[in-house]
A and B are shown apart, each in its own frame.
Chain A
Amino acid sequence: MLDWNAYVREHLGALRLRPEDASEVSEELAAHLEEGYEALRAQGLPDEEALIETGLQTGSWDKLRRGVNSERRRIPLMDRVKQIWIPSLLTLFTAWTMLALLMIAGLRPLVWYTGGVRYFILYVPWLLLLPFIGAAGAYLSRRAKATGWRVYFSGAFPAVAIAIVFLLIMPFRLVVDPYVVHDFEWAGLASMTFNWVVIPGIALCFGVAFQGFWKSCGQVAS
């Protein structure tokens, strides 16, 4: 019995794809060839002739490799822009503009000091808006056919952006700013991360998850 997967891998050569994509393509092509071969055998063709005929059904392996490489490549740039960057930047802009507007309108945060530099700060109306902003980002991302982490990344980008800023700025300030070094406390960094990354991130992700749930309900209904 011929190992069709090995046959495909041998003839197709190395694909310029991620390993999991390449093995998926090999498996799919192998299943196609195997089925074609079995159909020919069922028609009464001898084994050798069925193998030759199945090989002919492939066409040019070079053409197949080129075609698969260009069509199965990771999402092209424009798709990536539509699926990730446009929704991400929109959620980022909307989230922080809303916070700025609420602050200009006189919003006062709820603050709890828990000693030292540890404190919790909650801009409640803003946090209540974040699930909607996350859901809007997820909607835009899913509309561009994104799935999985791309949708969550787009919806939760305002929190991701702050996390990146913390990661980039803190080591820099620790090096160049002696006051920061002097006053630095891990607890302070932890509470800032909690206030500006974790809590907003949860609110945004809730919106993303809810939008997904809403969409799947709509699909079931239709």
Chain B
Amino acid sequence: MIRTELKRGTGELSVLSVLEDGPLHGYEIGRRIEEQSGGALRYTLAALYPLLYRMERRGWLRGEWETGSSGRRRRCYRLLPRGRKMLKPMRAEWADLFRVLRRVAKVNHA
């Protein structure tokens, strides 16, 4: 499990990345991130929803209510063009950070 201080800042890239393949609702976003990170990144509701609302306000995502086959209403988040545009520079920024950490902190497998 990664410490909260380290996790801070990874949220935006994680959410944008899992939404790259298609719209998901909040629970599914959290589950996918956890699954794809092998359980290392787990977001509580207190961390996930303010993040989703902030990204929505910036015009990176759009949340829309949908009713599933079970009749349950869920708010699905869809990546907007502005959010998709953010992915490339964000990935480059993180890659830079890993490169720097490899040099400075001798992190081999960042």
Contacts and interface: CB of A to CB of B under 8 A. Distances in A.
B109 interface: no
Interface in B89-108: none
A79 B45 contact: no
A64 B45 CA distance: 7
B44 to A, nearest CB: 3
A63 B8 CA distance: 14
A185 interface: no
Given A31-B73, A35-B27, A67 B50 contact: yes
A120 B54 CA distance: 50
A57 B44 contact: yes
Contacts of A64: 44-46, 49-50
A164 B72 CA distance: 45
Looking at chain B's contact residues, the main secondary structure is helix
A28 B75 contact: yes
Contact of A59 (B47, B54, B73): B47
Contacts of A61: 46
A70 B50 contact: yes
A47 to B, nearest CB: 19
B57 A79 contact: yes
In this complex, which of B27, B44, B59 has the most chain A Cβ atoms within 10 angstroms of its Cβ? B27
A36 B25 CA distance: 12
Contact of A71 (B50, B74, B75): B50
Contacts of A39: 31
Given A59-B45, A76-B57, 4 more contacts: A28-B26, A31-B25, A32-B27, A64-B50
8 closest residue pairs by CB, A with B: A67-B50, A59-B44, A59-B46, A71-B53, A64-B46, A63-B46, A35-B27, A32-B27
